Amino acid sequence: MSNEDLYHKVVGYVELTIFPTVVNLNRIKLNSKQCRIYRVRVNDLEAPFLYNDPTLEVCHHESKQRNLNYFSSAYTAAVSAVDPDAGHGELVIKVPSELWKQGDDLKVLKVYIEFSLDQPKGGLHFVVPDVEGSMAERGAHVFGSCDEKMKIFSCHRFWFPCVDSYSELCTWKLEFTVDASMVAVSCGDLVETIYTHDMRKKTFHYILPIPTAAPNISLAVGPFEILVDPYMHEVTHFCLPQLLPLLKHSMSFLHEIFEFYEEILTCRYPYSCFKTVFVDEAYVQVSSYASMSIFSTNLLHSAMIIDQTPQTRRCLAQALAQQFFGCFISRMSWADEWVLKGISGYIYGLYLKKTFGVNEYRHWIKQELDKIVEYELKMGGVLLHPTFSGGKEKDNPTPHLHFSIKHPHTLSWEYYKMFQCKAHLVMRLIENRISMEFMLQVFNKLLSLASTASSQKYQSHMWSQMLLSTHAFLKSISNVSGKDIGPLIKQWVDQSGVVKFFGSFAFNRKRNVLELEIRQDYTSSGTQKYVGPIKVTVQELDGSFNHMLQIEENSLKHDIPCHSKSRRNKKKKIPLMNGEEVDMDLSAMDADSPLLWIRIDPDMSILRKVEFEQADFMWQYQLRYERDVVAQEEAISALEKFPTPASRLALTDILEQEQCFYKVRMQACFCLAKIANAMVSTWQGPPAMKSLFTRMFCCKSCPNIVKTNNFINFQSYFLQKTMPVAMALLRDVQNLCPKDVLNFILDLIKYNDNRKNKFSDNYYRADLIEALTNSLTPAISINNEVRTVDNLNADVRLILEEITRFLNMEKLLPSFRNTITVSCLRAIRQLQKNGHIPSDPSLFKSYAQYGHFVDVRIAALEALVDYTRVERSSGELQWLLSMVQNDPVHYVRHKILGLLCKNPPFTKTTDSALCNEALVDQLWKFMNSGASHDWRLRCDAVNLYYMLFGLTRPSCLPLPELGLVLNLKEKKAVLNPTIKPELGVGAVMDTPASIGIHGFNTMEDEDIDMETVHDSQAFIHHHLNLLERPSTPGKHTHTHTHTHTHTHYIHVLKTLLIQFSAILFIWHQITTTVISMYGPYEQALGNSGKEKLPFNRKKPAKPASGRGTHLPQLVGGEGD
């Protein structure tokens, strides 16, 4: 057992070389969390240091405060207090007085920090499968099975002291000593690998000559299998043991992505090598770091799997796009994040367009647009480029949110995802405005500036070209294109919200004019007013015509002259937008009007939601004849409201049309099912889609038997998968699934035969189970009888029989990603919910345990969350919450909270026995201190708290004595002003201007800082007070001008970080690590190579492993 402790330990050593830019540098602040710092030296002198992490416990002392407003502001203050962009940090090092004021010559300072990391909860993630055996046995075991693997996710201050900011660049030298059976993969070039003297360990030496920020540094250690990319030998792939065949297949097209990006950006991949590492229990599916990306191992697949292939390719493309924008070029400040996310998302979109086709691309854009519109309308606006003029709470640009968007660490995860989504959509809007050619020119310019800068020796401003700010980006756009995109930026970037249009029209026959009315809703939450051009496309008998209308303040109506007289020439073909000419059956249309259909903003060049009214036949024409997939999808969703035989026919035709985009056809299936249900009393013929499916997929000779599977045609494969799922949604007059349909699905399962198929049918079978699930309807229950086997409905018995068999077979022959188990668990929950079988959580609990495949666990947890809500079970809620606190997999913990938010056991508006003081306390405690090691988890907990109790004090709590004042006007509770004074600490209050915000350039606040820093409570309250005070002039106004901000940083932070080196000793099989950052400017400063050797032999405890002594040569060695 004692070994177990060793497994999770890292011992490290960091060296930073700092070039002060101010004279009075006497304090150095770094970011560091959960590290135990043993010793700090500055230029060989022992330096006193203070370690204080205010985010460990957000709200101290107080015990009564339970409202989220208070928490959010306290949390924001705590994060601000250690914000590296503002020059703060958890670790404050006092520069020994001997090194002060050495005249005007600013000498290089070297900071050495020894630290260890014991059982880290965040940052570093150890995955150690529970394999029995002594050390030797384990050692012998490493070869075959995977004993240990380890990887890391972004928050860097969690695993080594650094300046955890994207804007602090420096070069790196990293050394990792690990067990000989392991491989340590990290950023930069692997220079050499050397055994330690006892030959039990190896040291990996990495050098990253390109200036890189600490958050872009990562490490993965494990018994990886290695695959050198057969097309590009500088690219290396790593996977866990036994997965090599999958890795080979999954990576076989990576070179195409490389080629694509390099071609469109006309720029070589900036790093000299690239590494992909596939790890288990990944924090996120894809994360990119300088010259390496870490993926979830679950993205690997074999050649037999269809559905996973495009997803994996997308993930790779995303990761690679972020290599250019995000890793190589990183953000200047948090407010500029949208530019990088936007650009990487945009070029990723271009890749999608090229690889998966224009249809897929437009479908994706529509999907993303729908997603962001839905989110913003529900949750309030997403602001891409927030500006914080003062530090004041009143200036909060997003008062509708229950969290602050001032720091990435306080953001809700969902919000961040939507933020990324909006960013790339806005980037696409910019492209619409300035053309793709210019857009790519801008990117190329940014990249070439950055790569010139990266090869420079350190000079104070040179490297800043590698940081991208909103301002620089916009300037570059205006330089390249000469166009002013100011209004566009103002509308979508500086402002939050989307546009909501309502459109309707009338045709004026006398004037032959189309009278179009477009109204807007800009008062409800998440909306904004749009003024500007809008494109309207009108398909008439004589062709398709685009009209640019101007949306203005007060004009709602627009007259559009029509080109065609109502049908004079009957037999003529009708020209479409794409030049195609088609025959149409015009009998359905209004004889007086030449209009076939009308589309508002067809190119999605506004972030909007359009609700447009036109007659059902127009939607049907649009579905049949408009060639744009977006238009077809819009028509399908509109047709749901028109359950007529004509709609049915249009949908059926689309379903049968093989040229039609398969996702449109899939959507048509579900729409057809809805229409069929709406017209159940008048429906003629067999159940919807049945004859169609029979014709497409069943044997000619015996129509009740499906053909043996052959998925070589992917379009029909997807259709074959979808149709049964949609058909199962059909209901007869009694609101039951028709017997025909159920038997049909059961037959599909029975006759399913995959023996001759090149592809796996696991997704297909999973969908058939989903179809069975969809066919379920609530059981008729008499007197609430207990559900037993005997009173099972006959149909349900058949369904249950299939599910049991599938679930059991899965144990013997597991399917890819256990898709079938996942579907079965969902089906069982549905059976329980509909009262066919007794509601019981124990099955799901066993599948939710650690040790099952993650998809299975999530499915089981989803069922449990649902159970908790339906049965109002506090036992299960407790079980889930304890899993949130204790589960080894971060993703699962995050996911449980996400699921609870999506399907909350109760909400702030409903009463529930579950809502009690104990739960409030528990969640509060978790938010406050329990989740301090994981930003994402803490924000998830905040979300859940908001969902359950709202912003104000939970209603189930007794009112504290005057603790809160309810502001009815703003509908929120605020701190009682009378209790504020006691929160602040006098000394701090008295010198507000001098407190930490400006960092090191204020000497006089030294005493206060040092003393109060012990008491993080005072620290936070102090910041709380700062937030409420009117802004001091000149304080912290970095959003106005970025050049200014930058100099500010240089002033405050560049002082800090110029060279950085570190050693990490990760105990036992995963062993020692050495990280070192160095700067090529070093020589410019005239230091000899020897002097700057980061590791002097005086270092006690750790054996000096062979470390590179010839750094200067290596600096230039990145050319190839």
Partner 1 sequence: LGDNARGSAGKATSSPAENYLLARRRTLQVVVSALLTESGFESAEKAAVETLTEMLQSYITEIGRCAKAYCEHTARSVPTLSDTVVTLIEMGFNVDTLPIYAKRSQRMVITAPPVTNAPVTPKALSAGQKRTHPAHIPSHFPEFPDPHTYIKTPTFREPVSDYQVVREKAATQRRDVERALTRFIAKTGETQSLFKDDITTFPLIAARPSTIPYLSALLPSELELQALEETDSSEQDDQTDGENTAGNAITDDPGADKENSMLPPSGVVPSTKASEDNVIDNPYLRPVKKPKVRRKK
Pairing of strands 330-331, 467-468: parallel
Does residue 1113 interact with partner 1 by CB under 8 A? Answer: no
- Name the residue nearer to partner 1 (CB basis): 188 or 643: 188
Cβ at position 288, least distance to partner 1 in Å: 20
Whether 996 contacts 81, CB under 8 Å: yes
DSSP letter for each residue of 358-412: HHHHHHHHHHHHHHHHHHHHHH----SS---SSS-STT-S-TTSSS--SSGGGS-
21 CB-near residues (< 8 Å, 6+ apart): 106, 460, 1050, 1051, 1054, 1055
Which range of residues in 44-52, 54-62, 295-303, 453-461 is near partner 1 by CB under 8 A? 295-303
- How far the first Cα of the chain sits from its last, in Å, is 47
Q: Does 329 bind partner 1 (CB under 8 A)?
A: no
- Using the rule CB under 8 A, is 853 a contact of partner 1? yes
Site for partner 1 in 1076-1105 (CB under 8 A): 1105
The residue among 139 and 960 lying less far from partner 1, judged by its C-beta, is 139
Residues numbered 985 to 1024 that lie near partner 1 (CB under 8 A) are none
To partner 1, the closest distance from the beta carbon of 68 in angstroms equals: 37
Closer residue to partner 1 in complex, CB, 49/258: 258
Amino acid sitting at position 1120: D
- Judged by CB, which is closer to partner 1: 79, or 316? 316
Residues 713-749 as b/e (b if ≥16 CB within 10 A, e otherwise) read: eeebbbbbbbbbbbbbbbbbeeebbbeebbebbbebb
In whole angstroms, what is the distance from residue 1071 CA to residue 7 CA? 9
Instruction: State the minimum distance, in angstroms, from the CB of residue 1098 to partner 1.
Output: 15
Query: 133, 838, 875, 888: which one contacts partner 1 (CB under 8 A)?
Result: 838
Nearer to partner 1, 131 or 987 (CB): 131
Binding to partner 1 in span 693-722, by CB under 8 A: 699, 701-702, 705
The footprint of partner 1 on residues 268-287 (CB under 8 A) is 273, 280
Regarding 189 and contact with partner 1 (CB under 8 A), the answer is yes
Interacting residues of 54 by C-beta distance below 8 A, sequence separation 6+? 77, 78, 81, 82, 90, 1016, 1019, 1020
Residue among 14, 37, 93, 183 that touches partner 1 (CB under 8 A) = 183
- Is 750 a binder of partner 1 (CB under 8 A)? yes
The residues that bridge with 331 in the sheet, in sequence order, are 468
Give the residue with the Cβ less far from partner 1, 21 or 818: 818
Q: Is 587 exposed, middle or buried (0-12, 13-18, 19+ CB in 10 A)?
A: exposed
Coil, helix or strand for 1094? coil
Instruction: Find, among 818, 830, 841, 815, the residue nearest to 779 by Cα.
Output: 830
- Could you say whether residue 243 binds partner 1 (CB under 8 A)? yes
Token pair recorded at residue 380: 């309030």
- The yes or no reply on residue 137 touching partner 1 (CB under 8 A) is no
Decide if 730 contacts 648 (C-beta within 8 A). Answer: no
Interface positions, 591-610, toward partner 1 (CB under 8 A): none
Residue 708 or 1041 with smaller CB distance to partner 1: 708
Among 1, 98, 134, 199, binds partner 1 (CB under 8 A): 199
Report, in Å, the least distance between residue 914 CB and partner 1. 25
Amino acid (1-letter code) at residue 48:
P
Least gap, CB of 777 to partner 1 (angstroms): 18
Span 652-681, contacts to partner 1 by CB under 8 A: none
* Chain Cα centroid distance, residue 416: 6
Q: Does 225 bind partner 1 (CB under 8 A)?
A: yes
Q: Give yes or no for residue 801 binding partner 1 (CB under 8 A).
A: yes
Which residues are CB-neighbours of 711 under 8 A, at least 6 positions away?
306, 717, 757, 758, 759, 761, 764
Structure tokens, 186: 């990290």
Least distance in angstroms from the C-beta of 225 to partner 1: 5
* 116 vs 302 by CB, closer to partner 1: 302
Query: Which span (238-246, 349-357, 427-435, 460-468) binds partner 1, by CB under 8 A?
Result: 238-246
148 counts as binding partner 1 under rule CB under 8 A? no
Q: Which of 202, 471, 890, 1042 binds partner 1 (CB under 8 A)?
A: 202
**Binding partner 1 by CB under 8 A: which of 38, 100, 143, 522?**
143
Strands 274-279 and 292-296: parallel
Rule CB under 8 A: say whether 789 interacts with partner 1: yes
Q: How far is the CB of 1110 from partner 1 (least distance, A)?
A: 12
Q: Are the C-beta atoms of 21 and 106 separated by less than 8 Å?
A: yes
- Which DSSP state fits 835? T
Task: Specify the stretch interacting with partner 1 by CB under 8 A; choose among 53-61, 98-106, 133-141, 563-571.
Answer: 133-141
The residues pairing with 467 across neighbouring beta strands, listed in sequence order, are 330
3-state secondary structure of 863: helix
> Is 306 among the residues that bind partner 1 (CB under 8 A)?
no
**Whole-number Å distance between alpha carbons of 808 and 813:** 9
On the CB side of 232, CA atoms within 13 Å amount to 20
Does 191 contact partner 1 by CB under 8 A? Answer: yes
Task: Assess contact for 654 and 627: CB atoms under 8 A.
Answer: no
Minimum CB separation of residue 136 from partner 1 in Å reads: 7
> How many residues of this chain interact with partner 1, rule: CB under 8 A?
99
- Strand residues in 72-147 grouped as ranges (E): 91-94, 109-118, 124-127
Distance, in Å, from the CA atom of 856 to the CA atom of 889, rounded to the nearest integer, reads: 14
Question: Please, what is the minimum distance in Å from the beta carbon of residue 796 to partner 1?
Answer: 11
Structure tokens at 607: 């972030």
Candidates 246, 365, 1008, 1018; binder of partner 1 (CB under 8 A) is 246
What SS3 state is found at 857?
A: helix
Binders of partner 1 among residues 110 to 129 (CB under 8 A) are: 129
* Stretch of 159-167, 415-423, 624-632, 838-846 contacting partner 1, by CB under 8 A: 838-846
The footprint of partner 1 on residues 4-23 (CB under 8 A) is none
Task: Using CB atoms within 10 Å of the CB of residue 700, give its burial: 0 to 12 exposed, 13 to 18 middle, 19+ buried.
Answer: exposed
**Does the protein bind partner 1 through residue 303 (CB under 8 A)?**
yes
337-379 and 662-678 helices cross at what angle (nearest 10)? 10
Q: Which is nearer to partner 1, 485 or 705 (CB)?
A: 705
Listed ranges 106-114, 130-138, 261-269, 718-726: which one lies at the site for partner 1 (CB under 8 A) = 130-138
Does 294 help bind partner 1 (rule: CB under 8 A)?
no
131 binding partner 1? (CB under 8 A): yes
CB of 1090 to partner 1, least distance (A): 15
Interacting residues of 477 by C-beta distance below 8 A, sequence separation 6+: 430, 434, 438, 442, 483, 485
Of residues 374 and 747, the one with the C-beta less far from partner 1: 747
CB of 758 to partner 1, least distance (A): 6
Span near partner 1 by CB under 8 A; candidates 26-34, 208-216, 324-332, 850-858: 850-858
CB of 6 to partner 1, least distance (A): 17
Contact indicator for 607, 423 with CB cutoff of 8 Å: no
Question: What is the rounded radius of gyration, in angstroms, for the C-alpha atoms of the chain?
Answer: 31
User: Applying CB under 8 A, which of residues 23, 96, 99, 139 lies at the interface with partner 1?
Assistant: 139
| Cβ nearer to partner 1, comparing 140 with 918 | 140
Which one among 475, 519, 758, 902 touches partner 1, defined by CB under 8 A? 758
843 vs 957, which CB is nearer to partner 1? 843
Q: Identify the residue among 67, 236, 293, 465 touching partner 1 (CB under 8 A).
A: 236
**φ, ψ of residue 568 in degrees (nearest 5):** -90, -50
Q: Which helix (H) or strand (E) holds 337?
A: helix 337-379
